[in-house]
């Protein structure tokens, strides 16, 4: 019944309008604050925005789509290596290199989806992890990409820190914008219907494979672009940093902390986990790891809908209490 209602329903225009206003505010605010940032502040803000984009991109397939993928690090690595490779071998500048990274991400997503969407639930999750580990192992022995030695981008073609910050802003806005567009569209209703019950959605005329594949492709393209941007900030890349599952873990934790399956939850989670814990406790990495673990346990136990869900519940409670108190 829930799925049928979703498929027949329409997104609330007010919620969509507010979300789009938030996207515009993020874009304007980041660009206005940029001139006042120090070089260190600019670097931190760039990384934060890229984590926002990465966590939001994973949430499209993992939260809204319900496909708990652990292969997101593969997209980061493919995007980073594609960018550096075309810069080295073709001499391409930033924009063409980013386009190549996006195409590589879309191609990888299509291949991954064709293979992994034959699986469901825990089998899909395990299969995606195996896919990521296989990609990492392959990159450590592939001489064409430098194997374990990695690659370094030509300095003359690497964008300036200011340009990279602008790129990070655009990626964060694009990722959140994609989340808003999907959440408030009929495609988003079909995607969440597949997430809730794939068999029932199929019986109602929804094509589960194509629906999930669309979300994976969008997620893969965005994540590959995030990987490309990170490669431009580090200049040198190697398999264990580019394809390491740490990327996936970070994105998943951020999405869960902020609110899995919501539009703005992953962004909130990225701010809390990256800036609130990683940056502020960077001199105490052990403490940061312990606090992150405890935070996840507390949220899963007491606030399963994340920080955003808790805020929404508090708002509803206050609204319900207001007539009684007057």
Tens of pLDDT, residue by residue over 37-46, are 999 999 999 9
What distance in Å separates the CA atoms of residue 144 and residue 146, rounded to the nearest whole number?
6
Residue 179 placed within a domain = yes
Interaxial angle between packed helices 72-90 and 39-62, expressed in degrees from 0 to 180 and rounded to the nearest 10:
130
What distance in Å separates the CA atoms of residue 180 and residue 158, rounded to the nearest whole number?
31
Backbone phi, psi, residue 15, to 5°: -65, -40
Count of the separate structural domains present in the chain: 1
Q: Which residue has the tokens 């879309």?
A: 106
Q: CA dihedral defined by 216, 221, 227, 230, rounded to 10 degrees?
A: -130
Question: Does the pLDDT value for residue 10 go beyond 90?
Answer: no
Task: Write out the residue range of the structural domain in which residue 74 sits.
Answer: 2-274
Supply the pLDDT for residue 323: 58
Residue 309 placed within a domain = no
Supply the pLDDT for residue 294: 82
Residue 303 placed within a domain = no
pTM for the structure as a whole: 0.90
What distance in Å separates the CA atoms of residue 213 and residue 219, rounded to the nearest whole number?
10
What pLDDT, in 10s, does the model give residues 172-226?
999 999 999 999 999 999 999 999 999 999 998 999 999 999 999 999 999 999 9
Where is average pLDDT lowest: 21-30, 258-267, 282-291? 282-291
Please tell me which residue, 245 or 1, carries the higher pLDDT value: 245
Residue 319 placed within a domain = no
Residue 282 placed within a domain = no
Residue 288 placed within a domain = no
263-302 burial code (b ≥16 CB/10 A, e <16) = bbbbbbbbbbbbebbbeebeeeeeebeebbeebeeebeee
Residues 6+ apart with CB under 8 A from 74: 108, 112, 131, 132, 135, 136, 243
Residue 192 placed within a domain = yes
Tell me the pLDDT band of 161, cut-offs 50, 70 and 90.
Answer: very high
End-to-end CA distance of the chain: 37
Query: At 58, which CATH number?
Result: 1.10.3470
Percent of the chain having pLDDT more than 90?
Answer: 73
Residue 322 placed within a domain = no
Average pLDDT over residues 16-30: 91
Residues 6+ apart with CB under 8 A from 248: 58, 69, 70, 71, 72, 73, 132
């Amino acid at each position: 019944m829930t799925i049928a209602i979703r498929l027949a329903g329409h997104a609330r225009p007010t919620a969509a309008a507010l979300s789009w206003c938030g996207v515009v505010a993020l874009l304007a605010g980041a660009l206005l604050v940029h001139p006042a940032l120090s070089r260190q502040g600019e670097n931190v803000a760039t990384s934060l925005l890229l984590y926002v984009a990465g966590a939001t991109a994973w949430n499209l397939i993992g939260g809204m789509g319900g496909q708990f993928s652990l292969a997101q690090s593969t997209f980061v690595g493919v995007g980073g290596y594609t960018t550096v490779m075309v810069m080295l071998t073709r001499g391409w500048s930033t924009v063409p290199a980013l386009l190549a990274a996006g195409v590589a991400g879309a191609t990888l997503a299509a291949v991954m989806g064709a293979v992994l969407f034959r699986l469901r639930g825990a089998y899909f999750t395990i299969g995606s992890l195996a896919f990521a580990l296989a990609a990492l192992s392959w990159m450590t022995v592939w001489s064409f990409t430098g194997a374990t030695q990695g690659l370094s981008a030509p300095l003359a073609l690497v964008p300036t820190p200011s340009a990279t910050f602008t790129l990070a802003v655009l990626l964060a806005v694009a990722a959140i914008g994609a989340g808003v567009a999907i959440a408030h569209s009929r495609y988003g209703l079909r995607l969440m219907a597949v997430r809730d019950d794939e068999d029932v959605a199929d019986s109602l005329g929804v094509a589960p494979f194509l629906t999930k594949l669309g979300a994976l492709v969008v997620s893969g393209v965005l994540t590959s672009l995030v990987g490309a941007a990170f490669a431009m900030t580090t200049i040198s890349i190697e398999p264990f940093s580019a394809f390491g599952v740490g990327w996936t873990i970070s994105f998943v934790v951020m999405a869960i902390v902020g609110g899995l399956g919501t539009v703005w939850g992953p962004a909130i989670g990225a701010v809390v986990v990256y800036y609130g814990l990683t940056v502020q406790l960077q001199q105490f990495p052990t403490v940061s790891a312990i606090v992150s673990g405890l935070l996840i346990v507390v949220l899963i136990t007491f606030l399963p809908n994340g920080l955003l869900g808790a805020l929404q519940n508090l708002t509803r409670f206050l609204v319900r209490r207001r007539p009684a108190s007057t």
